[in-house]
Amino acid sequence: MILKKKHLKFTSILLLIVFTSFLVTPAIISISGNQADVSTFFSMNEEENSNKMPKPNFVFVFEKIQSNYESLAFLKKQKNKDGFQIDKYSKVFIDVVSPPPRVE
């Protein structure tokens, strides 16, 4: 009986942390001043629904890499090619909080 109570208490605390994190995440992102890259979270649902993985649009040859500096430069160049910037996303939570329009 005591073991069951401990298990239920642990489960309830775990679920509390998970659901609280879902509620707090938008506030933390808005407070951070758009410093975080959240493009992966916006596209997460699309990745779950698609059955095939997207093909990469670059070729990376491992034999040509001489040092860590070259690989970091390559990754920076690829990151700059992506069009995903956090500043391009609108703040969705403002639209959700606003009341519906009046119908007269």
Q: Is residue 67 part of a domain?
A: yes
pLDDT band at 67 (very low <50, low <70, confident <90, very high): low
Q: pTM of the predicted model, to two decimals?
A: 0.31
* pLDDT at 70 exceeding the cut of 80: no
Question: Which pLDDT tens digit goes with each residue over 22-35?
Answer: 888 878 777 776 66
Three state DSSP letters for 32-100: CCCCCCCHHHHCHHHHHHCCCCCCCCCCCCHHHCCCHHHHHHHHHHHHHHCCCCHHHCCCHHHHHHCCC
Q: Is residue 9 part of a domain?
A: yes
Q: Is residue 93 part of a domain?
A: yes
Domain count for the chain, please give it: 1
Q: Is residue 77 part of a domain?
A: yes
Note the pLDDT of residue 23. Answer: 87
- Higher pLDDT: 104 or 51? It is 104
Per the structure, the complete domain to which residue 76 belongs is given by 2-97
Q: Is residue 45 part of a domain?
A: yes
